[in-house]
A and B are shown apart, each in its own frame.
Chain A
Amino acid sequence: MTTPTDVNTLRLDAGRNWPYSQDACMTCGMCACVCPVSGVDGFDPRRLIRLAVLGMQPELVESRWPWICTMCGKCENVCPMEVRIADVVRRVRSLRERDHVPGSLHKGLAAALATGNNLRLPKEDFLFILEDVAGEIREEPGFEDLQVRVDKKGARVLTTIHNKLVNTHTEDLKHWWKIFHAAGEDWTVSSENWEGTSWGYFTGDDAAMKTMAGRILQQMEALEIDTLLWPE
């Protein structure tokens, strides 16, 4: 009996970095039927899972496949063997060298870890934008006395801010503020570590996600706030 030359059987269990369920895959194809990425770049969830089953980790980690997957979970929803395909994808993403993470995903996350937000936006600029937008809302009828209270101790609700709302989409800051105003909510936003996104979710970086979440909790503790709205 011969062993296929392109599968190193010694690698099957050696150095496997995830404790997941891919070995149960029967290659039935249910996942491939529902996957929005099937057929793109030769991708098929079964092929990705097969690489994992065969222990071909380096090939998998260098492949584009884990990154063109949207981790939407349709595959898992139909998998009769309950293989957690999206989790395998995320785990494989975590093994990519950080400098080789595609696009701005890791750069944004690194900025957030270093400065508290993905944009490296300085505190004074952040505060200026908030007040500027608040001023615009106050020009609308019914919102003349709208206030944005930053770092308000003892407020009922703390909310995070998605970085795009203080970048290219400042108009979209207004919706929640108007609702808060109309509801008479006692709310606040933190002047530091206000970032609402947590791109470790996309890059497979659990430690970064923990850091980001921990910072928000620290703000709640410092400002004595019990309730968090995290709209991202």
Chain B
Amino acid sequence: MKKYRFVTVFDLLTEYITQGRITLDRKRFPQLATYHDPCNYGRKAQLRFGHGFFEEPRWILSQCVERWVDLYPDRMNQTCCGGGGGTLVTGYNDERIYYGRRKMEQIKATGAQMLVVPCHSCHGQLENIKAHYGRADLEVKYLWELVADTLVLPSDAT
């Protein structure tokens, strides 16, 4: 039987960085960043498959920025952003926005200006609720968006 290889976003980004296929500039985003562990990449992956992706995204983030801090609590004990389980499209929006209050409190407590996430649902949720919780200024970025925005290109050499 033919075998196929499945890679996560973390596997591929790590591969590109460690093999020197891409170079990143850690000075472009001097503001303080923080990282949100998605339930499915982290806790549920750990519970279901025996490996939660906790360290991989943090290593990648460290290649992109110089200053970042963890939320508290994080990893296995992280708080759901509120956008999981399909709640972004079930129509139960009042509930969904309410669930996000703890995540927004955590983010505010770090003083971070930028929130990095590697999940489409978490990104959609946090982008959607940030103004509701008084943080319209919070920059919500996909992890791979941050990588793309810190790429050093041949044309950058001046």
Contact = CB atoms under 8 A, between A and B. Distances in A.
B9 A72 contact: no
B42 to A, nearest CB: 9
A202 B85 CA distance: 6
Indicate the size class of the contact surface on chain A. Answer: 35 or more
20 contacts: A67-B86, A72-B44, A72-B80, A72-B84, A74-B43, A103-B89, A103-B90, A142-B156, A157-B7, A162-B120, A172-B142, A172-B145, A175-B149, A176-B144, A179-B147, A183-B16, A183-B21, A227-B5, A229-B9, A229-B12
A59 to B, nearest CB: 19
Interface in A12-47: 36-37, 40-41
A40 B91 contact: no
B92 A74 contact: no
Contacts of B92: 64, 67-68, 102-103
A175 to B, nearest CB: 4
Interface in B82-136: 82-87, 89-92, 95, 98-99, 102, 120, 124
Interface of A: 36-37, 40-41, 64, 67-74, 76-77, 86, 89, 102-105, 108, 141-143, 157, 162, 164, 172, 174-176, 178-179, 182-185, 197, 199, 202-203, 217, 220-221, 226-232
A70 B124 CA distance: 14
Among A72, A142, A174, A227, chain B packs the most CB atoms within 10 A around the CB of A72
Contacts of A67: 85-86, 90, 92
The 6 closest A-B pairs by CB, nearest first: A202-B86, A72-B80, A142-B153, A70-B84, A103-B91, A71-B85
B76 interface: yes
Given A68-B87, A203-B86, A179 B144 contact: yes
Contacts of B124: 164
Contact of B82 (A36, A164, A221, A227): A36
Nearest to B3: A226
A228 B7 contact: yes
Interface string B1-21: 010111111001100100001
B61 interface: no
A64 B91 CA distance: 12
Nearest to B23: A182
A102 B90 contact: yes
Contacts of A227: 4-7
B59 to A, nearest CB: 16
